[in-house]
Amino acid sequence: MVYYRPCVLDEFIGQKRIKDELSVYISSVKKRNDIFPHTFFIGAPGLGKTTLARIIAYELKRDLKITSGPILDKTGTLAAVLTNLKEGNILFIDEIHRMPKPCQEILYTAMEDFALDIVIGKGNTGKTIRLALPKFTLIGATNKPNLCLAPLRDRFQLTFKLNYYKDEELRDIIIKVSKNWGLEIEKDSALKLARASKGIPRQALNLVRRLREFVLLNSGESDKRLLKVSFQEFERFLKLLDIDEWGLTPEDRKCLLTLYKDFNGGPVGLTSLALSADITPEEFEIIYEPALIRLGLIARTKRGRILTQKGYLYLKEKFNIPYKEETQCLFSS
Ligand code: ADP
């Protein structure tokens, strides 16, 4: 399995505003040899939250400890992690919203006062002792910030919301990653893969991984050389994966067809639509829906998801499904 992770901020493509701001903080912390401020990254899985945390640690030459909300399910486990930290360490907690409430509460004093309050004994005889912690940085990541307690959210000095990437940004990531993995891919082909990546670098990397396997299998060459992906080979790859000229995959088409066939074009609730299309509601909401909305094929209304006029036209073009004239007025905006 091949991996790719940018190590420095300059190598990180996209999210310009976040990069610019982080660059200022990194320089200033470096200059003062200070502790990096507690930072909260919000965004869908695969957008680069862990990568940014690694970059901050790398640029500052600080140790990074990586853990996640589901692992820190007991206050004792969290206390052990916190007491093992050293001055300047960066603690990255992925899916921080999945920490139970008592664990989130422990972080209040840990972040603000670098202290850990431990309760010994129960009831009236119980007493609290305070343990000093080394000064550290907490980087929390989540796609569900509302599930974090408000006082925890408030204790992050920096909050960044990562956006889905533009096709051109993903194209550049794809070209860079391909090169890294020994593939030379044309700009146009990279853009086609980018369109099928749903605005998410992890999806883009997965597609490049599959392309690499495909090319290596067909070439019979050792995987050490830089292999050029010809236009014809790339088109065969797209055909194999059934990715169309819109960048839509069979799963995307299934979502649209389900919305049309099972729900008469909507409106329909998230869970019903996702389950009918054999996708988990979370996957639908995070991966498929944002891309279909960006393409203008579906829309979110107060009453649920609907197929747009463009969505109907897409289905007509692909599956010769009759376009419903009576719905036109609904979607003419
Ligand atoms: P998250 O923590 O948000 O789930 P990751 O940081 O694990 O996402 O990123 C997923 C994959 O995508 C990693 O392999 C990472 O190297 C790559 N990646 C993410 N963002 C970028 C980017 N802006 N440029 C290049 N690669 C990226």
Question: What confidence tens digit (pLDDT) does each residue in 89-116 have?
Answer: 999 999 999 999 999 999 999 999 999 9
Cα-based angle 199, 200, 202 (whole degrees, multiple of 5): 155
> Would you say 189 and 225 are in contact if contact means Cβ atoms under 8 Å apart?
no
> Would you say 103 and 93 are in contact if contact means Cβ atoms under 8 Å apart?
no
- Answer with the one of 161, 188, 208 that is the final residue of a domain: 161
pLDDT at residue 221 greater than cutoff 70? no
pLDDT at residue 301 greater than cutoff 70? yes
> Would you say 17 and 162 are in contact if contact means Cβ atoms under 8 Å apart?
no
Could you tell me if 150 and 31 lie in one domain? yes
Task: Check residue 325 and give its pLDDT.
Answer: 56
Digit-coded pLDDT (tens) for 258-298: 999 999 999 999 999 999 999 999 999 999 999 999 999 99
Least-confidence region, from 44-58, 113-127, 185-199: 113-127
> Would you say 215 and 225 are in contact if contact means Cβ atoms under 8 Å apart?
no
Could you tell me if 69 and 139 lie in one domain? yes
Task: Check residue 94 and give its pLDDT.
Answer: 98
In a domain, 2, yes or no: no
Task: Check residue 321 and give its pLDDT.
Answer: 84
In a domain, 181, yes or no: yes
Could you tell me if 101 and 175 lie in one domain? no
Report the amino acid identity of residue 152: L
In a domain, 4, yes or no: no
Q: Is 51 in the pocket of ligand 1 (CB under 6 A)?
A: yes
Q: Is 6 in the pocket of ligand 1 (CB under 6 A)?
A: yes
Least-confidence region, from 122-131, 272-281, 297-306: 122-131
Report the chain's mean pLDDT, rounded to a whole number: 94
pLDDT at residue 61 greater than cutoff 80? yes
Q: Is 14 in the pocket of ligand 1 (CB under 6 A)?
A: yes
- Answer with the one of 192, 219, 241 that is the final residue of a domain: 241
Q: How many domains does the chain have?
A: 3
C-alpha 123/C-alpha 82 separation (Å) is 26
In a domain, 220, yes or no: yes
Digit-coded pLDDT (tens) for 12-28: 999 999 999 999 999 99
Please tell me the residue having the least CA distance from ligand 1 atom 6. 48
- Answer with the one of 176, 206, 241 that is the final residue of a domain: 241
- Per DSSP, the three-state class of 156 is coil
What token pair was written down for 211?
């392309």
Mean pLDDT of 225-243: 94
* Segments forming the whole domain that contains residue 94: 9-161
C-alpha 111/C-alpha 136 separation (Å) is 8
State in Å: Cα 311 to ligand 1 middle.
30
Mean pLDDT of 189-215: 97
State in Å: Cα 203 to ligand 1 middle.
9
Q: Determine if the pTM surpasses 0.85.
A: yes
What token pair was written down for 196?
């099928």
- Per the rule left: phi > 0, alpha: psi between -120 and 50, beta: everything else, 113 is alpha
C-alpha 183/C-alpha 176 separation (Å) is 9
Residue 260 sits in a domain whose CATH number is 1.10.10.10
pLDDT band at residue 324, thresholds of 50, 70 and 90? low
Concatenating the DSSP letter of every residue in 268-310 gives B-HHHHHHHTTS-HHHIIIIIHHHHHHTTSEEEETTEEEE-HH
pLDDT at residue 172 greater than cutoff 80? yes
Q: Is 199 in the pocket of ligand 1 (CB under 6 A)?
A: no
Residue 40 sits in a domain whose CATH number is 3.40.50.300
